[in-house]
Chain A
């Protein structure tokens, strides 16, 4: 588990997630990977019938990063709309907000 990395344009510094092939901001095509940093949960929802192994409800949120991108992530139960969070990314591909 490590901090989610996002794509940053080397020319205009705009950040993107998921990855693009050409910077929507300036048109450049050179990038670096940067940590996603902090963001704010803007919406949250309980998904009641997810295809989770145990079928248990899953809590998701829409997080606007200070760097710009909006990321859909799994939320811990006590994390809700308005909370400041950081995003972790696991080998399982799950982005988690904490």
Chain B
């Protein structure tokens, strides 16, 4: 992507474990939208493009949301790529503002999934799940990623305490994020004693489902008049879909395919990133993405976890990630983008990484049978 697509605002509708009665997805998405427009200093009347990803917006679609938001558009997109939807929408929105198809694109993601709706989503996620996994029953993706984590632990010689180190470090970041649903410190002893969900995964390895939404505003660089805060440039962006026909072990994602091109386009590498947001639906997947993107260099994963993640020397998932902040359905990917933008604009409060200028954000998702089939990443940079 050429460098002139910018993120000029971001917002997050408050994440809650138990949303009050009467909560609905459209209203949550709207909350995030107003916050993002306010942070951009842009009036809703200027919005002429809208992208949305949500598992629970139905029976409404993007156009119904546009109508209810009262925005008049010439560009509209609905995305179904789950954890990769944010990077996908950012790619399309960036192209739209570059091409002049729209000037101001609001990108939204969020969900309100009460227990019954969540169960239906999990069991009817796609045809393969409905026909072959739900009848077992399989308990949702936890069991699939439990077995993936077993493969990962064996391949890299890791034990439960290694995965715990990532979870505990993210909880330490979350302590400084008022928007995270879990902020209390977590000890290794508590982690090891926690109830097992699907061995070897315990409750702290599985994201807490929350109601919430995230939003960003995308503009071309020559449409920045009036923005008070520094815009964030999209330096590079790449996605892959179905890179391996689900014939692998799930220990590599499409990020391993796109990493070379991504870094070349960005003119930067992992060591140049001041903050990194990877898609932490499970600790093993966060580690897989860091590995795929080349963060380890010549180091072994076990030492990397101890030296870089447990110490928080490498700022990864500084919001606490989904594991501590919560997973608001399809907002999981956009949550990372919002946190990166906050860091790059110096708006991350007590968790601010001083002088953060460049960020990597990765998305991953859509388990088609055994593991996720969509992955993407973007390199973001503060413009001034």
Q: Name A residues whose Cβ lies closer than 8 Å to a Cβ of B.
A: 18, 20, 24, 42-52, 58, 60-62, 70, 72-74, 92-95
Q: What CA separation (Å) do A5 and B369 show in the bound complex? A: 17
Among residues of A, the one whose C-beta sits closest to the C-beta of B131 is: A93
If over half of A's interface residues share one DSSP class (helix, strand or loop), that class is named, otherwise mixed; here it is strand
Given contacts A48-B195, A93-B131, contact A72 B139 (CB under 8 A): no
Contact A72–B137 (Cβ < 8 Å): no
Given contacts A24-B245, A43-B150, contact A48 B135 (CB under 8 A): no
Q: What CA separation (Å) do A20 and B246 show in the bound complex? A: 11
B133 to chain A, nearest CB (A): 6
**B225 at the binding interface (Cβ < 8 Å):** no
Given contacts A43-B147, A49-B197, A60-B138, contact A70 B131 (CB under 8 A): no
Contact code string B110-133 (vs A, CB < 8 Å = 1, else 0): 000000000100010001100111
Q: What CA separation (Å) do A14 and B197 show in the bound complex? A: 35
Residues of B within 8 A of A62 (CB): 147, 370
Contact B142–A47 (Cβ < 8 Å): yes
Question: Contacts A20-B245, A45-B150, A47-B139 given; 16 further ones with Cβ under 8 A?
Answer: A18-B131, A18-B369, A24-B247, A42-B151, A43-B151, A45-B198, A46-B196, A46-B198, A47-B142, A48-B195, A48-B196, A52-B137, A61-B147, A72-B369, A72-B370, A93-B134
Contact B135–A50 (Cβ < 8 Å): no
Q: What CA separation (Å) do A46 and B196 show in the bound complex? A: 9
Contact A93–B143 (Cβ < 8 Å): no
Q: What CA separation (Å) do A94 and B367 show in the bound complex? A: 19
**B136 at the binding interface (Cβ < 8 Å):** yes
Q: What CA separation (Å) do A58 and B136 show in the bound complex? A: 8
Among residues of B, the one whose C-beta sits closest to the C-beta of A93 is: B135
B359 to chain A, nearest CB (A): 35
Contact A70–B132 (Cβ < 8 Å): no
List 5 A-B residue pairs with CB atoms under 8 Å apart, sorted by A's residue number. Answer: A20-B245, A24-B247, A42-B151, A45-B198, A60-B198
Residues of A within 8 A of B247 (CB): 24
**B144 at the binding interface (Cβ < 8 Å):** yes
Within 189-213 of B, Cβ neighbours of A (below 8 Å) are at 195-199
Residues of A within 8 A of B245 (CB): 20, 24
Residues of B within 8 A of A61 (CB): 147
The one of B135, B139, B150, B370 that contacts A94, using a Cβ cutoff of 8 Å: B135
Top 7 closest pairs, chain A to chain B, by CB: A93-B135, A43-B147, A50-B139, A47-B139, A24-B245, A45-B146, A18-B128
Q: What CA separation (Å) do A60 and B134 show in the bound complex? A: 12
Q: What CA separation (Å) do A8 and B370 show in the bound complex? A: 20
Contact B136–A72 (Cβ < 8 Å): yes
Given contacts A18-B128, A45-B147, A72-B370, contact A92 B135 (CB under 8 A): yes
Contact B199–A46 (Cβ < 8 Å): yes
Contact A51–B119 (Cβ < 8 Å): yes
Residues of A within 8 A of B195 (CB): 48
Among residues of B, the one whose C-beta sits closest to the C-beta of A23 is: B245
Residues of B within 8 A of A42 (CB): 151
Contact A95–B150 (Cβ < 8 Å): no
Among residues of A, the one whose C-beta sits closest to the C-beta of B148 is: A43
B126 to chain A, nearest CB (A): 10
